[in-house]
Chains A and B, each alone.
Chain A
Amino acid sequence: MTDMRTPLSRVRGRGSAKSGTDHFWLQRLTAVANVPLVIFVLASIVALVGADYATVKTYLSMPVVSILFLLLILSGVYHMRIGMKEIIEDYVNGEGMKLLSIIGNNFFAAVVGLACIYAVLKLGLGG
């Protein structure tokens, strides 16, 4: 077999998709970030059980809380988008359906992520 790739392309080892192990690495990176962030958000929600609306609003408008929520949303949505793409690639066999599912996955992640970010910013910036 004649190798059509340049020596530089071969040594980079990133194949035709040009992304190499980025997918794998970002899934782990976001997973590492998610561990403390999920624990924080879960603890926050438990601490707010039984609280009235004013308390919840005051809590969610604290800058540190807003920032940690935003970090979880960014890291979490990125993580779930990669994970769902992997599930789609494993189980959806038809090319058309696979394409539609991957588009849907991206749209879902974008809508949920943006909706959460907007709500957190509105609470934090005193809407």
Chain B
Amino acid sequence: MAETSAKAPGRARPLSPHLGIYRPMLTMMMSIVHRITGGALYFGTLLLAWWLIAAATGPEAYGVFMDLATSWFGRLVLFGYTWALIHHLLGGIRHFIWDMGKGFELSAVEWMARLSLAGSIILTLIVWAVAYAMAGGL
């Protein structure tokens, strides 16, 4: 079993077509991005853990976290985190629709992809607009 990946002797075996051969399409990119955002959110939980531990530790630890989180780099990471979260959430809702056996027509697949991409960007901007309003401006 473990030997199957070793190089085969003689002539090159035919390979099934892989990613490089397809023209990128929105639905395909959305599927790939769903997985990438999932992976990013996986490591992003470290930030949630850090925030909660800092809050549980005390004012100094919380201050250190907040200084980093509100720096330009921290904001950039958190903005990306917000978008990844919302994109993955909307992608998940598309998957619920497909799990119920609906939305498989090509037109539906296409507009759901467009709607969730646009929705993820618009909702991320709304969340950040509200956050800045909460903080009393920039």
Q: Does B111 have its Cβ within 8 Å of any Cβ on chain A? A: no
Secondary structure dominating the interface of B: helix
- The reply to whether B135 and A87 contact each other, CB–CB distance below 8 Å, is no
Q: What B residues does A120 contact at CB under 8 A?
A: 52, 56
> Is A95 located at the chain interface by the 8 A CB criterion?
yes
Chain A residues, CB < 8 A from B8 = none
Asked whether A35 lies within 8 Å of B93 as measured between CB atoms, the reply is: yes
Provide the residues of chain A in CB contact with B95, threshold 8 Å.
28, 31
Mark each residue of chain B from 44 to 57: 1 if its CB lies under 8 Å from any CB of chain A, else 0: 01101100110110
A42-B55 contact given A31-B92, A35-B93, CB 8 Å threshold: no
**Is B17 part of the contact surface with A, judged by Cβ < 8 Å?**
no
Size bin of chain B's contact surface = 20 to 34
A123 lies within 8 A of B52 (CB): yes
Contacts of B134 in A (CB 8 A): 46-47, 49-50
| Interface hits, A52-94 → B, CB 8 Å | 53, 56-57, 60, 69, 76-77, 80, 83-84, 87, 93-94
Task: Name A17-63 residues within 8 Å CB distance of B.
Answer: 28, 31-32, 34-35, 38, 42, 46-47, 49-50, 53, 56-57, 60
B55 to chain A, nearest CB (A): 6
> Chain B residues near A47 (CB, 8 Å)?
134
Q: Does B113 contact A (CB under 8 A)?
A: no
Task: Look across to chain A and name the residue whose beta carbon is closest to the beta carbon of B45.
Answer: A112
Q: Do residues B56 and A127 form an inter-chain contact, with CB atoms below 8 A?
A: yes
Contact partners of B85 in chain A: CB under 8 A? 38, 42
Residues from 98 to 138 in B contacting A, C-beta threshold 8 Å: 99, 127, 130-132, 134-136
Chain B positions within 8 Å of A110 at CB level: none
B16 close to chain A: CB less than 8 A: no
Partner of B49, one of A34, A50, A57, A119: A119
The reply on A122 being an interface residue by CB < 8 A is: yes
| Residues of A contacting B82 in the complex (Cβ-Cβ under 8 angstroms) | 42
**B45 lies within 8 A of A80 (CB):** yes
Residue of B nearest to A69 (CB): B52
Query: How far does the alpha carbon of A87 sit from the alpha carbon of B49 in the complex, in Å?
Result: 23
In the assembled complex, A116 has its CB within 8 A of some CB on chain B: yes
Measured between beta carbons, the chain B residues less than 8 angstroms from A119 are 49, 52-53, 55-56
Can you report 14 A-B residue pairs in the complex whose CB atoms are below 8 A from each other? A28-B99, A46-B127, A53-B62, A84-B42, A93-B5, A94-B5, A112-B49, A115-B52, A119-B49, A119-B53, A119-B56, A120-B56, A122-B56, A123-B52
